[in-house]
Each structure stands twice: as structure tokens, then as C-alpha cells.
Amino acid sequence: MEEYWTPEEKRRLKEAGKISELADIALVVLDRMSVSSDNREITQICGPMTTGGLGNLRDNMALFEYAITVAGENGFYVFNQLPFQDGMVRILNWAPGQKVYRQEILEEFYRPIFASGKVQKTLFLPDWQSSHGASWEFGLLGELGIPRNDFPIELLTSARIVNHSSELGMKR
């Protein structure tokens, strides 16, 4: 994804003060990806981040990072939303263990991205149903007619992932 970012977007990402500003940056990146797509569908990985999954942001982000990398290596044209995570945490003053889900992440960041039509396919990580946000995304994507697919489980083979496979309901 680095190739689709300019120094201007990187600067704006660090300075953003609202979730909607992060969405604006994401849409610029997605526009650039669309132009360079060679008719490939832009895919986004969906799954647990702050709720559900492996139970904490650190481990869920490690799974996301691995899934994004392996999907790209296997021919998927992936929009990487992870660069926005630090901005979201900073803007919302989020801390591990917070009980209240910040719905503006979904409404002000993910909704505009999916509604733009730039993301044409999604891959849901194992145990996505345990996540408030991923469950919300699944519903919205259905409303928008964007294909919702399970992440190809055979691609999740790293030792780090296998160690958590029982927690994710994955078969070894």
C-alpha cells in the first residue's frame, strides 16, 4: 500500500483530528489504487480489532497484518486500513480494556469507504462474529451489495496463527 501514499497523505494522517479526516485520506488512497488497479478488484480484510477475535488489539493487529500480507502475496489487491489504526486510537483516546465501543469508527470511517464503491470484495477473518465492528461491517456490506467472503483459511499457516488456531475455531 505504501506505493499509493504520498508524503502529503502521510503528513495528514499524523495531523488528523477527526475520524472523518482519516476517511478522507483513505478515500484518496483508494482513488489512487483504483486508477492503478488494472481491472483488479480492491479487497479489504475485515475482522476483529478492538473487540473479539484473539481478545486484544495487539494480537488482532498481528493477525490482520499477516492476513493482509499473505492475501497480497496470493493475488488479492488489498486496501490496507492498518495505517489508520494509530490515528483512530489517538483521536478517540482509546485505551485497552475500554468497555464502550466507539461507533464513530464505523460510521465515520468504514461507512464512507464501503459506500464509495472502491472496495469491491471483502475477506472476513476467522471468528469475525465475535467482533462488534466486523459484525456491523458484515451487515452494511450486505446492504451495499459488496461480496462478503471468508478469508481462505489455508492461507493462515504461520506458526503465530496456528498457536491461536483453537481460539479462532480454526482446524490445524
Per-residue confidence in pLDDT tens, the chain, 172 aa = 578 999 999 999 999 999 999 999 999 999 999 998 888 999 999 999 888 899 888 899 999 999 999 999 999 999 999 999 999 999 999 887 776 788 999 999 999 999 999 999 999 999 999 999 999 999 999 999 999 999 999 998 754 444 444 444 444 3
Grid cell, residue 108, equals: 465515520
Domains of the chain, start order? 2-163 (3.40.50.10400)
Q: At what angle do helices 85-92 and 19-35 cross, to 10 degrees?
A: 170
Q: What's the pTM value of the predicted model, to 2 decimals?
A: 0.87
SS3 content of the chain, % helix, strand, coil (to 5): 55, 10, 35
